[in-house]
């Protein structure tokens, strides 16, 4: 029996794409896992997704579910009781730009503080919070050097979307909490992934995966001139576990990115070259910036990234590789695996 076999880890937001892979990684590493979901009625569909990710009925002997919602206090003390670690993966993600930014910012910030306070009360050793590259690389002028964990997105820029702001504000709140008297003694590590791709586990797909789906179906008439770094969901889950267990990770941020990055058009070009039999509908043209700006006048979600058009945003994973020994897959392998899984689940017709 490994020493981890009696160690309980809480994973928040167990029905999510990344959280599912975190559960798989933890169970495969011998941990016991408890996961929070907003309604226990979702537990069977979560198990189905986990089976699609390679888990067996025997693995479920070490998995339990608890009902808890980021916007409510109820359930969190029970969720975290007896846990040594917590991976806080749950996050309110809207697929539209809200009428008011507080619709996203307040639940993200308050939800993060809610779980950290519960963790502190339960004497959890370390919490790994999943933040985002959006807390690092937005609102800056053109970068020549890669972004690192030292960077923070610049909230002084007025045209940042609500999602970007929510990630900066909720991550800052987490760091402030562990530095305060109330949070003293609780270890915190933060993982900041770029756009997460990789094999889907069911027909409920994450926002980033829709990009590959729309390329394949032809719904994407072309690519905005946007820089888009990629990381594989399996690699982010592996990094979360490393960040949870490595003593050197306490108090650190880790950028999760599979270099090199590139423009969005490269995703279309990878699909065309690697999967020619299913990519007849993929457009490899680049949309003129003026066209995207006009669309942004009528679509708040598009407006949120207009200021980033044409900006290269390279980022470095050197810290995660050096300190934690992290080994991410290539951008190409990740994009191909994403597309193949969409075909497997019938989310794109052959």
Active site residues: 167
CB–CB of 348/278 below 8 Å? yes
Whether the ω angle into residue 53 lies within 30 degrees of 0, i.e. cis, is no
Q: Please report how many Cα atoms fall inside a 13 Å half-sphere around the Cα of residue 201, on the Cβ side.
A: 24
**At 236, is the secondary structure helix, strand, or coil?**
helix
Q: Which of 69, 73, 66, 52 is nearest to 9 (CA)?
A: 66
CB–CB of 37/11 below 8 Å? no
CA dist., res. 42 & res. 290, Å (int): 43
CA dist., res. 183 & res. 319, Å (int): 26
CB–CB of 326/188 below 8 Å? no
- List b or e across 209-239, with b for residues whose CB sees 16 or more CB atoms inside 10 angstroms: bbbbbbbbeeebebbbbbbbbbbbbbbbbbb
CA dist., res. 83 & res. 4, Å (int): 12
CA dist., res. 159 & res. 79, Å (int): 38
CA dist., res. 145 & res. 137, Å (int): 12
Q: Which of 292, 268, 270, 290 is nearest to 281 (CA)?
A: 268
Q: Which of 31, 63, 68 is nearest to 47 (CA)?
A: 63
CA dist., res. 232 & res. 63, Å (int): 24
């Amino acid at each position: 029996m490994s020493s981890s076999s009696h160690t309980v880890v809480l994973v928040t937001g167990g029905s999510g794409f990344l959280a599912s892979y975190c559960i798989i990684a933890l169970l495969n590493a011998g941990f016991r896992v408890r996961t929070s979901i907003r309604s226990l009625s979702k537990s069977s569909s979560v198990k189905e997704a986990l089976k699609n990710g390679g888990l067996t009925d025997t693995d479920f002997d070490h998995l339990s579910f608890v009902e808890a919602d980021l916007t409510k206090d109820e359930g969190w003390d029970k969720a975290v009781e007896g846990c040594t670690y917590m991976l806080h993966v749950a996050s309110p993600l809207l697929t539209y730009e809200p009428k008011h930014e507080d619709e996203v910012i307040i639940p993200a910030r308050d939800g993060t503080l809610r779980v950290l306070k519960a963790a502190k009360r339960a004497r959890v050793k370390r919490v790994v919070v999943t933040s985002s590259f959006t807390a690092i690389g937005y609102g800056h002028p053109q970068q020549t050097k890669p972004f690192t964990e030292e960077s923070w997105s610049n909230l002084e820029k007025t045209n940042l979307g609500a999602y970007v702001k929510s990630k900066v504000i909720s991550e800052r709140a987490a760091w402030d909490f562990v530095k305060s008297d109330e949070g003293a003694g609780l270890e915190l590590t933060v993982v900041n992934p770029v756009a997460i791709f990789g094999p889907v586990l069911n027909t409920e797909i994450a926002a980033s995966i829709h990009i590959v789906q729309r390329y394949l179906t032809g719904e994407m008439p072309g690519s905005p001139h946007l820089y888009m770094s990629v990381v594989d969901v399996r690699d982010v889950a592996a990094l979360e576990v490393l960040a949870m267990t490595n003593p050197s990770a306490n108090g650190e941020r880790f950028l999760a990115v599979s270099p090199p990055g590139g423009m969005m058009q490269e995703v279309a070009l990878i699909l065309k070259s690697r999967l020619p039999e299913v990519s007849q509908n993929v457009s490899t043209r680049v949309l003129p910036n003026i066209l995207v700006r006009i669309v942004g006048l009528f679509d708040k979600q598009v407006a949120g990234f207009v200021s980033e058009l044409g900006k290269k945003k390279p980022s470095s994973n050197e810290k995660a590789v050096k300190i934690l020994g992290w080994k991410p897959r290539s951008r190409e392998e990740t994009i191909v695996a994403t597309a193949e899984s969409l075909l497997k689940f019938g989310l794109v017709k052959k």
